[in-house]
Structure 1
């Protein structure tokens, strides 16, 4: 497949690029600073842009089978970037007629898991309060994606870890795995690549966790 990856220098984005290349996909990595993309071996096509406008991004998505995005705030002071940058991506995709889109959000933005216990509800409440601006940004990003004409999927992991890919995790379409508290960034990438061709995830939020 021909894939374009936004946020390709982030933790999840780097893993998407690496795993997609290993799987034999043709990858375009969209970055602001190519020096921050430490992909070894046969590398991706690197497209340098600051996502200033949809017109600037159109060549990066033209003719692609799918777009995968790891865009988002890296700290509370960056709240707002997920919505703003994703809006640019959506404009470029719609102008080029590219349909398939997968984006990373976060578990607290989606529905509470069925049967969640007191501990999970309490942790969710605390995290949501501390990162309320970041999650408000992600909610608005999700709303923008849902209003678009793309075949979208929103992937919602819990607290992220730096761990090797395992391929062993749980997914719930339209919900979230019970007692799912952690997920490695590499497995977020693995899940997104697996969902790229999965029609059951189109137009859905998907909870993913160990």
Structure 2
């Protein structure tokens, strides 16, 4: 494991569909993808919440029900790759109306119909296995309490990950710890196939960076990737 410093200057430009585009990570994905020269279709329920200035390579698609596969196929057709930044805002929301798992299940099915193979999705570090080198307090106290307090949110993400693994996509799942509203550094720790040791936080902007970078990194295909500052 080492500090990871990806570059977003890719050629050729990609055509991306971004789900969860009005959230903290999704909005950063849209901004960074546009800055890198990509064409972006941002899938939203409410365009007013996107918060990204109009751009010649930005298309906004309103889809009210992300479990409606028929509505998803048109926003995926002709795209290079898909990024899901979907996630419940709270444990209560995930308990009352889980969205991430059911939505991603419909998304991967619609991707198959549209002929789109590459997918990157954000999950969460507690969904992955413990890091044995982390302290006893972290593994035996902090993480069990966190997993219990946010059990419905993580259960929703587990459904999402299971749907992705069962799909025919070339997938990458990015698992960050606690998210912060800080600028992108492009300099963070990354572990393919495991969580980052002693992980505490990472900025939403760096998670967006990791999602975008994974799309052109064959080493991440078919793996969960831990990221942390």
Q: TM-score, normalised by structure 1?
A: 0.97
1:104 matches 2:122: yes
Name which of structure 1's ranges 103-112 and 71-80 shifts more when overlaid on structure 2.
71-80
Decide which of 82, 97, 121 is 1:67's aligned counterpart.
82
Report 1:13-24 matches (<5 A).
Answer: 13-24=26-37
Which residue among 198, 206, 220 is the counterpart of 1:179?
A: 198
In structure 2, distance between residues paired with 1:156 and 1:186: 14
Give the number of the structure with larger relative contact order, counting CA–CA contacts within 8 Å between residues 6 or more apart. 2
Aligned to 1:9: 22
What is the 5 A alignment of 1:157-172?
157-172=176-191
Which stretches in structure 1 are left out of the alignment for 5+ residues? none
Q: Tell me the equivalent position of 1:49.
A: 63
**Count of aligned pairs between the two proteins:** 210
Q: Which moved more, 1:49-58 or 1:144-153?
A: 49-58
* Moved beyond 4 Å, runs of 4+: none
Which string of whole-angstrom CA distances, capped at 9 and with x for unpartnered residues, describes residues 62-83 of structure 1?
A: 1111100011111112212111
For 2:41, the equivalent position in structure 1 comes to 28
CA distance in 2: counterparts of 1:139 and 1:52, whole angstroms: 17
How far apart in 2 are the matches of 1:133 and 1:41?
A: 36
Tell me if 1:135 matches 2:135. Answer: no
Report the CA distance between 1:137 and its aligned residue: 1.1
- CA shift at 1:41, angstroms? 5.2
Cα distance in 1, alignment partners of residues 74 and 114 from structure 2: 9
Query: Residue by residue, what CA displacement relative to the aligned partner does 1:89-134 show, whole Å, maximum 9, x if unpaired?
Result: 1121011110000111000001212411123222211111100111
Q: C-alpha distance in 2, partners of 1:89/1:41?
A: 25
Instruction: Report SS of the residue matched to 2:227.
Output: strand
